[in-house]
Amino acid sequence: MGVKRNKAAPRPPGTPLRLPIIYMLIAILGWCGSTAWGNPSDPPAATRGIIAIDPGHGGKQNGSRSPQGFLEKEICLALARQLAILLEPDFRVILTRSDDYDLPLTERTGIANHHRADLFISLHTAAGFVPAASGIAIYTYKPAAKGPGLDREPSDASEVAVWHLAQLPHSTASRNLALLFQQQFEAMPGAPAVQTGQGPLVVLAGADMPAVLIEVGYLTHPATAERLNTPAGQILYAQAMARAIDSFFAARRQSAQP
């Protein structure tokens, strides 16, 4: 967001600093309105629903790294922004992270719950031991049979046990959502291989809405990394995701009709 900064006119001595303070307040309020938290006075852009997009990692957590040096945290944020642009005409979009900073896993879900989002979509990339590893994976939540989850937070297993009760009622809807993403990704140029799976992912456990974690590709695959790092490539992924979200809401509307 670009805020033009005009040079202030010279202030006669003794003139109170009221105007600059008012400008500052306007600037701060404007900034708040464009953050992940939104602004309660915003007009209701959410005609069809509220989508929480969670760009993985951030801050000190770089995530995976491509051979060219592209970072997962940056790719995920760029993808989230592209997806938000596509969705915003029809949906209210919440980004759990709107810049490069650390954000605990449970806070990400907490933001989605706070905004009563209809969907929670956590974006990640994968890393392989060999450069040839490629493909897309979509995960939904499934409680661990025993022991800690795939993620390391919260470390207290009993906390996970309570937290995951939020996601369990949405298991079927989450799997349906995963299948819609799979269909749309498979229809992308190059027809990437797309897998779905389930796991005790802490970032999904507390989501009180259908929720998926998408690994959009292997950053260790040089061509995929290149594609994910360009706006043209990101738009392809974002379009596929936006179509899947559209289909989810279309199906929900149909099933709600008498």
In angstroms, give the least distance from the CB of 166 to Zn ion. Answer: 21
Least distance to Zn ion, CB of residue 211, Å: 15
Comparing CB distances to Zn ion, the nearer of 50 and 76 is: 76
In the structure encoding, which two tokens stand for residue 256, read together?
A: 């709600």
Nearer to Zn ion, 123 or 209 (CB): 123
User: Across-strand partners of 140?
Assistant: 198
Check: CB of residue 76 under 8 Å from CB of residue 132. Answer: no
Q: Find the binding residues for Zn ion in span 175-204 (CB under 5 A).
A: none
- The DSSP bridge partners found for residue 214 are 123, 138
Closest separation in Å from C-beta 21 to Zn ion: 42
Residue type, 30: G
| C-beta of 50 vs 95, nearer to Zn ion | 95
Sheet with 119-126: list strands edge to edge. 92-95, 50-55, 119-126, 211-218, 136-141, 194-199
Which residues, 31 to 60, sit near Zn ion by CB under 5 A?
56
Name the residue nearer to Zn ion (CB basis): 34 or 62: 62
Place of tokens 């936006």: 242
Min CB(93)–Zn ion separation in Å: 21
Structure tokens at 23: 């400008």
Q: Which C-beta is closer to Zn ion: that of 49 or that of 217?
A: 217
> How many other C-beta atoms lie within 10 A of the C-beta of residue 153?
15
Between 56 and 233, CB nearer to Zn ion: 56
Size of the site for Zn ion (CB under 5 A): 3
CA gap 108, 96 in Å, rounded: 6
- Rounded to a whole number of angstroms, the minimum distance from the CB of residue 64 to Zn ion is 6
Q: Which residue intervals of 34-136 are DSSP H helices?
A: 72-87, 105-114
Gap between the Cα atoms of 142 and 167, Å rounded: 9
Contacts to Zn ion from residues 91-130, by CB under 5 A: 124
Q: Which is nearer to Zn ion, 38 or 63 (CB)?
A: 63
**CB-nearest residue to Zn ion:** 124
Binding mask 60-89 for Zn ion (x = CB under 5 A): ---x--------------------------
CA separation for the pair 115, 184 (Å, rounded): 27
Please report how close the Cβ of residue 150 comes to Zn ion at its closest, in angstroms: 11
SS3 39: coil
- Identify which of 173, 88, 178, 93 has the alpha carbon closest to the alpha carbon of residue 136: 178
DSSP for residue 170:
G
* Residues 214-253 contacting Zn ion, CB under 5 A: none
Minimum distance from residue 216 beta carbon to Zn ion (Å)? 10
Residues that bind Zn ion (CB under 5 A): 56, 63, 124
